[in-house]
Amino acid sequence: MRVILKPNHQQASIWTAHYIANKIKSFAPTSERPFVLGLPTGSTPLEIYAQWIKMYKNGELSFANVITFNMDEYVGLDAQHPQSYHHFMFENLFNHIDIKKENIHILNGVAADLEQECENYEKAIKDCGGIHVFLGGIGEDGHIAFNEPFSSLTSRTRIKTLTSDTIKVNSRFFDNDINKVPHQALTVGVGTLMDAQEVLILASGAKKAKAVYHGIEEPISHKWTISALQNHRHGIIVCDEDAASKLEPETIKYFKDIEK
């Protein structure tokens, strides 16, 4: 695992945005050989998306031959709902770049058959040849995508019931009313994430420090699904100082040393 330590959220986001942009550029994607990118929602990736929009507008980066798969979506919210992840992605990224609509994949939380929807999603990823880079955030309890504590570390895309902790944390987007937060989501599994060639997780702020500590220093456990990243050949956690604040000084020294 690589751990990239940056002084603040802005610098961690800029590093991540450039790292992935360089991956896309050096891959030189074409319509026959597209770059496949996994994407998250939440407040964490907003600055990365702003950076990519800037790069696109400056003519430095194109998404014309990029295929995207989002991590998750709430059950019961349609694409027009202001808190749906569909809406979030178009508002904050897709409406501002040159991605082709047919290259965008987001789970449909109002599909008539949710299980079939999840199965189709796994198949669509496979049909594209798998995901090159999966970008993610992290929940305060260490969840990646919506893989809540005690999710199977080999799980695939499926319906997941959200914990009351996650519902409470996410209620900030629903007028702080827990009753407005959907209780279920469709999410890629930990196994789906681990199949990506590279997984990059951005963690910012003190609220994520415990999850970062468990992900990096404690043994792999389904209690902290982020810890599955320890088994990935190309896992990267990018942290700002606050998110890294519970790491042992020797751990910080080690990762700073090898990144020099």
In the chain, the largest separation of any two C-alpha atoms, in whole Å, equals 52
Which one, 138 or 228, has the nearer CB to ligand GLP?
Answer: 138
Residue 134 contacts residue 38 (beta carbons within 8 Å):
yes
Q: Does residue 177 have an active-site annotation?
A: no
Q: Enter the DSSP assignment of 144.
A: B
Q: Which of 17, 39, 34 is nearest to 188 (CA)?
A: 39
- What gap in Å lies between CA 220 and CA 237, rounded to an integer? 15
Q: Does residue 9 carry a catalytic annotation?
A: no
Which residue in 9, 86, 105, 143 is the catalytic one?
Answer: 143
Residue whose C-alpha is closest to residue 104's, from 80, 128, 139, 137: 128
Residues 166-205, one symbol each (x = binds ligand GLP by CB under 6 A, - = not), give x---x-----------------------------------
Task: Check: CB of residue 11 under 8 Å from CB of residue 241.
Answer: no
In the DSSP assignment, the letter for residue 220 is: P
- Distance between CA atoms of residues 29 and 24, nearest Å: 7
Does position 34 interact with ligand GLP (CB under 6 A)? The reply is: no
Q: In what order do the strands lie in the sheet with 133-136?
A: 2-6, 235-240, 198-203, 133-136, 35-39, 66-70, 104-105
Query: Which residue in the list 47, 73, 117, 148 is annotated as catalytic?
Result: 148
Using the minimum distance from each CB to ligand GLP, give the nearer residue, 27 or 90. Answer: 90
Give whichever of 41 and 65 is closer to ligand GLP, judged by the CB atom.
41
Site string for ligand GLP, 137-156 (x = CB under 6 A): xxx-----xx----------
What is the distance, to the nearest Å, from the Cα of residue 34 to the centroid of all Cα atoms in its chain?
20
Q: Does 71 bind ligand GLP (CB under 6 A)?
A: yes
Q: Is 161 in the site for ligand GLP (CB under 6 A)?
A: no
Please tell me the count of residues contacting ligand GLP according to CB under 6 A: 13
Closest contact distance (angstroms) between CB of 171 and ligand GLP is 11
CA dihedral 42, 82, 105, 144 (to 10 degrees): 20
Q: Which of 29, 34, 38, 40 binds ligand GLP (CB under 6 A)?
A: 40
* 232 given a catalytic annotation: no
Neighbours of 32 (CB within 10 A): 6
String of contacts with ligand GLP for each residue 120-139, x by CB under 6 A: -----------------xxx
Query: Which amino acid, one-letter code, is at 135?
Result: L
Out of 8, 10, 43, 116, the residue judged to bind ligand GLP by CB under 6 A? 43
Annotated active-site residue 148? The verdict is: yes
Active centre residues (catalytic): 72, 141, 143, 148
Q: Which residues lie near ligand GLP (CB under 6 A)?
A: 40, 42-44, 71-72, 137-139, 145-146, 166, 170
